[in-house]
Amino acid sequence: MSEPTADTGLRAGETLDHFRLDAEVARSGMATLFRATDLRNGQTVAVKVPHAEMQDDPVLIERFRRELEIGQELDHPGVVKTIAVEAPSRPYMVLEWVEGRLLRSLLNEQQRLPVHQAVALTLCICDALDTMHKHGVVHRDLKPENVMVGGDGRIKIIDFGIAMKEAARRITHVGVSPLMGTPDYIAPEQVKGERADQRSDIYSVGAMLYEMLTGRPPFIGPNPLAVMNERLLRDPDPPRALNKEISPQLEEILRRALERDPRHRYATAAEMAWELEHPELVGVEADERRLAARGRMAFNRRKLLLYAGLALVPIALFVIMLLLARR
């Protein structure tokens, strides 16, 4: 039996209601995660227990309640499932136990992944995101630490600690920063403290794919503030300059996912997935079509101005002749 944790007052080997806490497996700033056994049926589960100081903060407790609510609402193989508990003796949540490795662990081991593997993982993430977004859920903290990769290559998105419902009121509280998420992966609008939406998650997916393909996040710097500032001021280095195996089409997909202005990003995760599955329809040719379209628009505007100017010529001549006649 291990020593008690300072944050929860619980130790491995103890029982919480009908769950035996077998081992502490992770700890964040808000909660501790235990691998546990449901003594009613022998099922292995994960039990997430908020820290004592969190239970005294109404804002953090509201976030925990919202995470529990979101987890019970979502039903997708790519999203960790929340298991309902009747009359819990204290605030905690029970999640399905997920076998596998964190995407962060894979990246630490391999630095960058083969292109086909990176794309396959991103497609799985997009599929899960599409379901989440259709339920109005924005994760707001997608990063390699929050993606589990199973032995079959499938993923599970975990940790909805700062997720939100797009229709929900915004939680504000003195002392709580409006900045959400992790500096390497959050969208520019999150850096500015603006409300995130599904396009913010798409930016984070683009940042993860960029790292999977190049071995580094889109922006690096001496500290988190510098990283966030870079994201507001410039675009990432072209990924093909860091990995020649990246095709022009895939680079174009990354460029669109990482647009600073959310209006220019993919509108949905399904849209990004479609282009990942059909790279032959994007890339350099798509760029040329966009440039040609912009050129046609500019030409049409110039033509319209020319016609408007020609239409004004007779009027101008009439005014001049009228003025001369009055003299």
- For the segment 98-137, what is each residue's pLDDT rounded down to a tens digit? 999 999 999 999 999 999 999 999 999 999 999 999 999 9
pLDDT tens digits, one per residue of 67-107: 888 888 899 999 999 999 999 999 899 999 999 999 999 99
DSSP-based three-state secondary structure for 50: strand
Residue 59: CB partners within 8 Å, gap ≥ 6? 171, 173, 176
Residue 290 has pLDDT above 60, yes or no: no
Residues with Cβ within 8 Å of 120's Cβ and at least 6 positions away in sequence, in order, are 153
257's enclosing H/E stretch is helix 248-257
Comparing C-alpha atoms, which of 95, 124, 109 is closest to residue 26? 95
pLDDT of residue 179: 44
Catalytic choice (7, 38, 130, 141): 141
β-sheet bridge partners, residue 47: 34, 94
What is the sign of the dihedral through the CA atoms of 177, 180, 184 and 188? Answer: negative
Average pLDDT over residues 48-71: 83
| Phi, psi for 97 (deg, rounded to 5) | -85, 125
Residue 63 pLDDT grade (very low, low, confident, very high; cuts 50, 70, 90)? confident
Give the pLDDT confidence score for residue 65 in this predicted structure. Answer: 84
Q: What is the pLDDT of residue 36?
A: 98
Burial (0-12, 13-18, 19+ Cβ within 10 Å), 117:
middle
pLDDT at 6 over 50: no
For the record, the structure tokens of 325 come out as 């006649």
CB-based contacts of 69, cutoff 8 Å, min separation 6: none
Could you read off the pLDDT of 131-186 as tens digits, one per residue?
Answer: 999 999 999 999 999 999 998 999 999 988 889 887 655 544 333 344 456 889 99
Mean pLDDT taken over the chain: 85
In this prediction, residue 27 carries a pLDDT of 85
Strand partners, 19: 16, 38
Residue 241 is predicted with a pLDDT of 96
Q: Long-range contact list for 186-191, CB < 8 A, 24+ apart?
A: 186/140, 186/141, 186/228, 187/262, 188/231, 188/232, 188/260, 189/262, 190/140, 191/228, 191/231, 191/232
Domain 15-96 has CATH 3.40.50.720: no
243, 232, 219, 258: which is closest to 122 by C-alpha? Answer: 258
Measure Cα distances from 135 to 73, 129, 130, 132, 229 in Å: 8, 10, 9, 5, 32
Per the annotation, the verdict on 17 as an active-site residue is: no
CATH class of segment(s) 101-282: mainly alpha
For the chain, domain boundaries = 15-96, 101-282, 295-327
Q: How far is CA 138 from CA 163, 268, 297, in A?
A: 6, 12, 36
Residue 174: the pLDDT is 35
In Å, the largest CA–CA distance within the chain is 110
Report the pLDDT averaged over residues 9-31: 91
Beta strands in 39-86 (DSSP E): 44-50, 82-83
DSSP assignment string, 109-128: HHSS--HHHHHHHHHHHHHH
User: Within 13 A of 145's CA, how many CA atoms are on the CB side?
Assistant: 12
CA–CA dist 197, 195 (Å, integer): 7
Whether the CB-CB separation of 15 and 24 falls below 8 Å is answered with no
pTM of the model: 0.80
The fraction of the chain above a pLDDT of 90, given in percent, is 63
Contact 62, 171 (CB under 8 A): yes
Q: For 66-70, 120-124, 232-236, 320-324, which range has the lowest pLDDT when averaged over its residues?
A: 320-324
As a whole number, mean pLDDT of residues 7-26 equals 92
Cα 160 from Cα 145, distance rounded (Å): 12
Distance CA 212, CA 149 (A): 13
